[in-house]
Amino acid sequence: MDDFERLKKKISDDRNFSCNQYKDPYLKRRFAIRMRATGAKSYREYMKVLDNDKDEYPTLLDALTVNVTEFFRDNSVFDEIGRVLRSLVEEKRKDNRNTLRIWSAGCSSGAEAYSVAILLHQVLGSQINDFRITIYATDIDDASLAKGRQGIYDPNILKDIKRTYLTKYFNQVDGGYQVIEPLRKIVTFKRHDLINERALPMMDMILCRNAVIYFSRDLQEKLFINFYRSLNDGGYFIMGKTETLIGEAKDKFKSVNNKERIYQR
């Protein structure tokens, strides 16, 4: 076993974090960033850093999990998500059902989940309380989840948000803007490992955008079919615009908008 593989095994053994979910070139780039930052000249030296510096593991895991997020990232996608939510609500009303379950998988600090909550509020308006809505926002990074629960964001993360939304759905606080309480109440943040834990069941919509691109092909195939099984019949799956459906799920999902990577069970 070479030192690169030893480093991967060490991280898995020490922190129960499977590096095998990621492609090796991606891992090598991320390791190189932390090695430069700590002055380690080799994987072997970096393993010693991990043993001796208690702050390095959290920093490394944060670097590996790519916590890039902003509100309404890719406006054209969210225009389509708004239309999909309207269709979902109409179907629910037609069938006299009032439960809506949505999952933002790999949510980072929650900007995507709150963006969906804003769109739902736009669709339902004063009738939002007629529905039992839960938006699950999951990630493996505890610090990001804590930030999401607090719902306070820097202005740069809100750069693509409509001014009317900023005024209606946020309060200005020290350090940025906080999502209003009614929206925070419908978003549930929880730690969830996409790789090693069972997918959340009975979802009407799943968003997993710009996360699986870093995973191995085998793992992508497994995740896509897991998401398919997690959806209710007629439920929607939304992935990143640079990502592509592969494996068994490719034949199971129906394309709703291929350009924006929106599919339906």
- 166 and 198 co-located in one domain: yes
pLDDT given at position 218: 86
Give me the half-sphere count of Cα atoms (radius 13 Å) on the Cβ side of residue 181.
0
Q: Select the more confidently predicted residue: 33 or 149.
A: 149
H-type alpha helices, the chain = 3-15, 24-38, 43-52, 56-64, 75-94, 111-124, 142-150, 163-169, 181-186, 217-230, 248-252
- 37 and 96 co-located in one domain: no
- What is the C-alpha separation between 104 and 2, in angstroms, rounded? 37
Cβ of 131: how many Cβ atoms within 10 Å? 18
- 128 and 240 co-located in one domain: yes
- 57 and 79 co-located in one domain: no
- 124 and 232 co-located in one domain: yes
Does residue 102 sit within a domain?
Answer: yes
Q: Which residues span the domain enclosing 60? A: 3-64
- What is the C-alpha separation between 2 and 218, in angstroms, rounded? 23
- What is the C-alpha separation between 41 and 194, in angstroms, rounded? 32
- What is the C-alpha separation between 174 and 138, in angstroms, rounded? 26
In tens, the pLDDT along 181-227 reads 999 999 999 999 888 899 999 999 999 998 787 777 888 899 999 99
- 127 and 245 co-located in one domain: yes
Kindly indicate the confidence band of residue 112, based on its pLDDT and cuts at 50, 70 and 90: very high
Cβ of 42: how many Cβ atoms within 10 Å? 12
- 44 and 87 co-located in one domain: no
Does residue 69 sit within a domain?
Answer: no
Q: What is the 3-state secondary structure (H, E, C) of 78-120?
A: HHHHHHHHHHHHHHHHHCCCCEEEEEEECCCCCHHHHHHHHHH
- 47 and 142 co-located in one domain: no
3-state secondary structure of 193: coil
In tens, the pLDDT along 141-179 reads 888 899 999 999 998 888 889 999 999 999 999 879 999
Tally of domains in the chain: 2
**Model pTM score:** 0.80
- 55 and 144 co-located in one domain: no
